[in-house]
Amino acid sequence: EKGGFDHFMLKEIYEQPSAILDTFRGRMLPNEGIIKMSGIEDNMKTFLNANRIIVVACGTSWHAGLVSEYIFENLARIPVEVEYASEFRYRNPVITDKDVVIAISQSGETADTLAAIKLAKSRGAFVFGVCNVVGSSIARETDAGAYTHAGPEIGVASTKAFTTQITVLTLIALRLARAKGTISSSEFRHHMIELELIPEKVKKALESDAYVKTIADIYKNSNNFLYLGRGYNFPVALEGALKLKEISYIHAEGYPAAEMKHGPIALIDENMPIVVIATKKGHYEKVVSNIQEIKSRKGKIIGIVTEGDEQVKALADHVIEVPETIESLTPLLTTIPLQLLSYHIALMLDKNVDQPRNLAKAVTVE
């Protein structure tokens, strides 16, 4: 049932082109200029009247929530707060009936996320679910929702759930942006056309697999990794670090690239591999100067760059290319080599990739 792959995780990484396609198929019609999702259409007034969106989630789903903060704010101009469900539920949060809560969960069974939803509902908020598992507890508990349609995710380390969550959240943000008039119809269409191209571009990003494996071989015995990114790719850095921790048991930290000089830069020496997401769109020059700072401290640089990049290539020890896309969609591509890197390192270290120690696929207890 692994479809010819050695592990579910690898199968699920490779399923992402079709999973993302399944997520937007039928919901997005670029030629007609339409995005339609019944959960949004039926509650359009609530969304448009919302003072803010509060995202609640855990783990990888929380990272997808962080990406959505950039997407919602940029496109739809709705303020967003992204909360760990476990913190939110015990914080006596200020919530009113003017808030929309979006709960993100692959399994739909995460105890903390479920509790956060119940709390938000009890205080009058409208709660919208983004789940993968159909009919799950969270899907049933929420007022409305949209499924990711990623298909079953068996590997404990979440991969296709993450990219399909970002896809659904992008569709929602685009739909709301259009309704609010915060983007023009040509921008709206442009985003849809770019999203439609993503499955093919993910396929291309997957072609880096063999090269990523050679990088994995070089750094597999490192004790620490740093992952850096900015803007839309800051959460991708967090997610890359989480993937490595979970399945290879190597300590890794994700950081916003510009925060490096406020502390983590002290960690950098010739033994520290640093994965830097430095795509052409989005703070590129600033990230390049961060890379220069790392280089002068002899850190080993693994750059995730846009196809054809020259500047980072000249500085980095290795560069992994991903196709060009619009800035808001870069996470769907930059995350691919990071998933592969953690997979190959874990495998080379002889770890149980699909069922890492101490972890469960659905965390149904707090």
The binding site for ligand F6R (CB under 6 A) comprises 58-61, 105-107, 110, 113, 156-158, 242, 246, 362-363
Residues near 231 by beta carbon (within 8 Å), at least 6 away in sequence: 70, 282, 283, 327
In angstroms, the CA 166 to CA 233 distance is: 12
Closest approach, Cβ 56 to ligand F6R, in A, equals 10
Residue with smaller CB distance to ligand F6R, 238 or 312: 238
Burial of 73 (0-12, 13-18, 19+ CB in 10 A): middle
Closest approach, Cβ 86 to ligand F6R, in A, equals 10
The tokens 């476990």 sit on which residue? 86
Burial of 289 (0-12, 13-18, 19+ CB in 10 A): exposed
Of the candidates 189, 144, 206, 245, the residue with the CA atom closest to the CA atom of residue 19? 206
Closest approach, Cβ 243 to ligand F6R, in A, equals 7
Closest approach, Cβ 292 to ligand F6R, in A, equals 32
Identify the three-state secondary structure at position 262: helix
Q: At residue 179, what is the residue type? A: A
Closest approach, Cβ 109 to ligand F6R, in A, equals 7
From first CA to last CA, the distance across the chain in angstroms is 31
Overall residue count recorded for the chain in this entry? 366
Known catalytic membership, residue 213: no
Q: Are 156 and 355 in contact (CB under 8 A)?
A: yes
Q: Which residues are catalytic?
A: 361
